[in-house]
Each structure stands twice: as structure tokens, then as C-alpha cells.
Amino acid sequence: MKNITYNDLEKKILSYAPFEIPKLRKAYEYAKNYHKEQTRASGEPYIIHPLNIAYILANMQADMDTIVAGILHDVVEDTESTLDEIEKKFNKTIRDLVDGVTKMTKLDFDNKKELSAVNIRKIIVSLARDPRIIIIKLVDRLHNMRTLEYKSEKKQQEKALETLEIYVPLAYYIGASKIKDELENIAFRYLKPSLYGDINKQREELKKETSDILNDIQSKIENLLKKNGVKAKFEIRYKDNYSIYKKLLTKINFEMIHDMLSIKVLVKNTRDCYLALMLIHEEFTPINNRFKDYIAKPKTNMYKSIHTTVFGPDNRLIQFQIRTFEMERVAIYGLTSYWFKYKNNARIEMQKDLEENFQFFKSIKELDSTILDNIEFVSRIKKELFSSNIYVYTTSGEVIELPNGATVIDFAYKIHTDIGNSMVAAIVNDEAVSLDYVLENQDRVRIITDNKAYVPKEEWLDKVVTTNAKNKIMDFIKENEDNLN
């Protein structure tokens, strides 16, 4: 992997923010001076690390405060530099960003587990302050994972596991799939090297076998769309190693993974997405239960696309992913795509979108406000947000994200406190169910309420898994006990 130089970084910044070069140079000289006696595990000068972070951020066209914070992100933690000095030499925003990514020191805590938990919590809840903090931290972790070969085997395992448990879910939730995919594949390679190698070998063999088939299909669809006035860009894709591994864990054979081979179709507008879908279905027979319209109903991380799997030549299953160029940018970069669109107002738009549209943001705020213990907070985050989740629907078609094991009571409180407090019955997929019914992926749920009924009851506490539902039930019980006394 080529190391980035300052000239590489400056050239990248010149392409979209040339007037910021003096600020960039000032930050580079400041960081270079403080890190001058330090080297990385590879033996290279330490400044290479922050330069790489800044370059990755610049590829996203990040604002200059974020890039400067990326360059300076380790100076307070690892050198004699201070936050006050950073604010004085740069500005308060950069100070706050650097503070957000700076780890707490071991002197403040009794043990390593508590220290780790408080640092993880600090990063997660920073979303409420400034989402750019998490983006810098994700990029920091990405470069560290790219250079993990220089660490001991024990440290490699620790970092790989932490990456899968914390940083991959964070990248997913903010929609940064490009970062997420690379993080999880590097982590997988270090955690299970033999299995990674076996899957990669099969994947490479599959690419050789199917390359001509996919090129022929792409050419056919490209001509078909062109005849119908649809201009499109195409990309042939193969499922990545970690995604294949997760599918194999569900006992599906390698050959039966329906989205192993895919062709991405990028078009100008939403109308062309649906026209392309129609034309593809006229040419190839679709598999009905493999059709997903994430344009009409985006994923909870705002991902939009149409997915359809068809029967291709030689009994091959081919998935088409159809979306606009704008949807593609969001699919790759998530919240970070706002830098391309909103430039210096991106941070405001990121925060606004997080608060209005991203369900996990509200859940993080609820957990942070109700759980004081740092270790318990991280445990609940992993269990309720960062583990395998299910996606169920309201009667109006809204997608609701819940942890595995969630019941209809959890669902009711996720919708609104008043709905949970007045729930008397539930209907799932047009059938009445008990209140301890455990929901499954893609269930459609309707809650029956009665404002005159005396609910919830204490026994409900054993029927829910989310902290939000438990807290709301306990609040209701306590409030009503106080009223009776």
C-alpha cells in the first residue's frame, strides 16, 4: 500500500478547496513537529498515519475543519500538545473534533475494561454532538486496520474483533458502506485467515468461470436500455468474502447464494430505475421472493436501490442493483456523501438527517440518558443495536428496526410511549397474537390500544428485550403507584 505524502494530500485539496491550502499547511507543520520523534510499529515516521487519514477524508471532499482534525487527531493523546493550544492556533470547532476522537487516559479508570468501555461510549454518543467525530474515528480505524500486519498476533485479534463488534456497525448505521466493507473484510482475514483464504479461492474461481457470462448479460441489457432511451452505467460485482462467510453460516451452499453475482445499473433518475427494472424482467425471469424495492422503502440507514434476482444463462442466479447516481453516492458514503452535496453546510445537514430519519440515533440517545454504567452501556449497545436485527412493518408500511428477540411490546414502545402504555392487543400478519409474541423479520404489526385500560403491568418487564421498553414500563408503574399512594 502506497504511503500518502503531504504533496499528495495538497493536490487532492487543490481539486476542490484551493483557498484552504494555508490552513492545511499550518496543520501539517504543527502535527509534524509534535510527532517528529515518534514512529509507527512499521518503523515509519508517525506523521504518515495522520496524512493517510486526511487523504481518505479528502477523497470524501470533507470540510477543512474535519481534515485538519484528522491531521491533529493524535497530538493531544500522544504528545505534549493541548486542546487549548489547538483552539488558539486553529479554532474551537477543530478543538472539539480533536477532543471527540481523543481517548481518555488509563489514569482516570480502575481497569482496562472500564477504560475501553468509556472510550467506546465517548465515540458512539459523539453522534449527538457532531457526526464528523465518528467519521474521523472510522477513517482512523480503517488506516490502522490496513497496517495491522505490524502488530502482534494477539493485538491483531483484539483489534479485528473490536472492529467487527463496534466500528463495522457504526459504519453501517451512517451508511458508509465503502468503509464498512473494507473494515469487515480485513477483520475477517485476521480473525479466520484459513477460512478467509478458502472463500477467497472459491470466489476467484467463480470470477473466472462467470466473467464472460456477466459481460454478455451487461452488454445485452446496456443495448436494451439504450434502445429505450435509458442511459446507464454498469458495474459487475461479486459478493465480498465476509458477506459470503455470513451466508455460509446460515447453512446455504456457496452455489446457492442468490446475490453472489450482481450487476449494478446506475441511471439518471428514479423513473429510469423502474423502466430499467421492467426491461430487465422482460429479458430475464425474476425470482419473486428476491425482489426488494428500497427506493419506495429505504433501509433504516437511508440506503435506496432496487434489487432483483433473475435466472441467467447456465442456471446462474444474477442480481441486478438498480439506482440513480445520487443513490449510489449515498450507498457508498452514507452521511459522508453530504460533503459532496452541501459542502460547508454538510455538518448541519448530517445532524438534521440523523435526528429526523435514522432510528438508531434515537436509540443511542435513549440508552445514553438511562444507563450510567459504561460497561453496561456498551453491552446494551452491542445487544440492542449492533447485533443481528430484524425489520418489521407498521400498517402504513414504515420500517421499524428492532433487536432479535423483540416482542410486540418492544415494537409498541418503539413507535410511541403512549401506544405502549395503552396497548391491549396486537395483530401480526393479520392474525391476533399474544403480547409476548417474538417478532420475525418482515412481520407486519398492528397494535390495538385502549386509553381506559390499566396497562402496562409489571409482568411485561419479562416480555421485552429493549432498554427503552423496560424503562417506559417502569416509569408507568412508578407513576401510577405514586398516584395511588
CB 297 within 8 A of CB 267: no
Q: Helices 64-72 and 21-34, interaxial angle, to 10°?
A: 10
CB 121 within 8 A of CB 107: no
**Cell numbers given for 155:** 493485538
Sign, CA dihedral 185-190-196-197, equals positive
Alpha-carbon distance 411 to 165, whole Å?
A: 24
Q: Which residues contact 151 (CB under 8 A, 6 or more apart)?
A: 41, 159
**Cell numbers given for 480:** 401510577
Q: Is 448 helix (H, G, I), strand (E, B) or coil?
A: strand
Alpha-carbon distance 118 to 114, whole Å?
A: 6
DSSP characters for 356-424? HH-HHHHHHHHHHHH---HHHHHHHHHHHTSS-EEEEE-TT--EEEEETT-BHHHHHHHH-HHHHHTEE
Output phi, psi for 431, to 5 deg: -125, 140
CB 164 within 8 A of CB 245: no
DSSP characters for 270-293? HHHHHHHHHHHHHHS-B-GGG-EE
Q: Is 77 a catalytic residue?
A: yes
Q: From the candidates 10, 78, 114, 222, which is the catalytic residue?
A: 78
Q: From the candidates 29, 44, 77, 479, which is the catalytic residue?
A: 77
Burial (CB < 10 A; 0-12, 13-18, 19+), residue 149, is exposed
**Chain CA centroid to CA 1, Å:** 25
Q: CA angle 169-170-176, nearest 5°?
A: 100
**Cell numbers given for 92:** 474551537
Alpha-carbon distance 371 to 376, whole Å?
A: 7
> Could you give the residue numbers annotated as active site?
77-78
